[in-house]
Chains A and B, each alone.
Chain A
Amino acid sequence: MVFDLEVVARYLPFLLQGVGITVEFTLIAFSAGSILGLLLALARISKNPIFHYPAVAYIDFVRGTPLLAQIYLIHFGLPQIFGYTPVGYIDALLALTLNSTAYIAEIMRAGIESIDRGQMEAARSLGMTYVQSMRYVILPQALRRVVPPMGNEFIALLKESSLVSVIGMEDLMMRSRMMAGRSFRPFEAYFTAALIYLALTLTFSRILGWGERRLGKSAQG
């Protein structure tokens, strides 16, 4: 039993075509999740119960249930209740976005809460409203602090996005499964896919690390 490089070479272009979808899903879900996650974090730290409790419930539910279950729920469950024809692409994006929103919200919350209380007090004592204080004083500091954990979340999301293959998205994972089926060489197929995932995560963590250092230089204190 030898590793068949010839099979890998033959299927590599086929696999790489799936990288586009994987990266696309990750980027879109991460961007949308960042914006929604920030809003959710603000709701979570709000003292107003109308914002606070739904935010807590949402975060707990999403973080406490498997992404796979969430994907099935959105793709198969919701159409049954509301009687529409599911679109895999939209459901996959929706599931990834809603999932990353919850994790990012917790990252943002930790970042906001790590800022010294005195910062909010100083801002309020100058006559700034809560919203102004958040926007001009707390968030600029908090967002710098969350860059490293956000990088981790990005990497995690990139890997988790492989789950959308279960509802037929032709991402890298799906294509490796197709390659395994067609070539009868599952080891080569999945090993190559794993290496491509590794290359992606290493590349992105390099980029993120570089961004972090640049931000570190411009961020004083």
Chain B
Amino acid sequence: MLKVKDLHKKFGDLHVLKGVSLEVSKGEVVVIIGPSGSGKSTFLRCINHLEKPTSGHIFIDGVDLEDPATNINVIRERVGMVFQQFNLFPHLTALENVSLAPEKVLKVPRAQARERAKALLSKVGLSDKCDSYPDQLSGGQKQRVAIARALAMQPKLMLFDEPTSALDPEMIGEVLAVMRKLAEEGMTMVVVSHEMGFAREVADRVLLMADGVFVEEGPPREFFTNPKHERTKAFLSKIL
């Protein structure tokens, strides 16, 4: 499904990703944790080319993103992304936020796109908020609209970039519940998050990124109870 090989990313002199490799198979849920500034977000943003990797290869469904012949817009249709700051379109209603891309990119007829958007909003528990504008929604509701918006393109892979970090504590649960449901339905997910409860229950694999490399990875039970690397132990002791 997703294969990343020896990915490097530099911003000028700053070497953020120093040779990162990862394979994610279909239906797998991978949670990436790590100290801030370690490159987790940059890594996610490379996967759909919001950042262009300096070197290395990313394959999605066997298609090489670094191949100049690859149409990145087509790849992005298949890779949904959810941002820490939601990035909802403030001039559109919740429904229009969800139906815009299918309508304009996939050329789904408007009525049909809206019908689908309604279904998706009710799936994330917001069927009563179709006509609300983003600034009339709470943080948790915004993030759920953002998830519905990404799902509207029927992605095969979903990227979550600290989806609950900007939320008030009481709203984190509702967003995690939606993500959990997605995971249960078999969505392939790469999640950057510090929600250890979520990682423990939902993840198939947990990875620790530090200083631009993956330090340790393993199934959550082992990862949390019996970490092997000092770096992991130190990090876990700070956040658990």
Which A residues form the contact surface with B (CB < 8 A)? Answer: 116, 118-119, 121-129, 132, 136-137, 140-141, 144, 219-221
Contacts and interface: CB of A to CB of B under 8 A. Distances in A.
B89 A119 contact: yes
Interface of B: 48, 50, 73-74, 76-77, 79-81, 83, 85, 87-91, 100-101, 104-105, 133-136, 146, 149-150, 153
Contacts, number: 72
B104 to A, nearest CB: 5
A188 B41 CA distance: 70
Nearest to A129: B73
Query: Which residue, of A119, A136, A144, has the highest number of chain B Cβ atoms within 10 A?
Result: A136
Contacts of B100: 126, 136-137
A121 B149 contact: no
Given A118-B87, A144-B91, A127 B136 contact: no
Given A132-B104, A220-B136, A124 B76 contact: yes
28 contacts: A118-B87, A122-B87, A122-B88, A122-B89, A123-B89, A124-B73, A125-B48, A125-B76, A125-B81, A125-B150, A126-B77, A126-B150, A127-B73, A127-B76, A127-B101, A127-B153, A128-B104, A128-B105, A129-B73, A137-B100, A141-B89, A141-B90, A144-B91, A220-B91, A220-B133, A221-B90, A221-B91, A221-B135
Contacts of B150: 125-126
A121 B87 contact: yes
Nearest to B50: A121
Contacts of B76: 124-127
A127 B89 contact: no
Contacts of A137: 89, 100
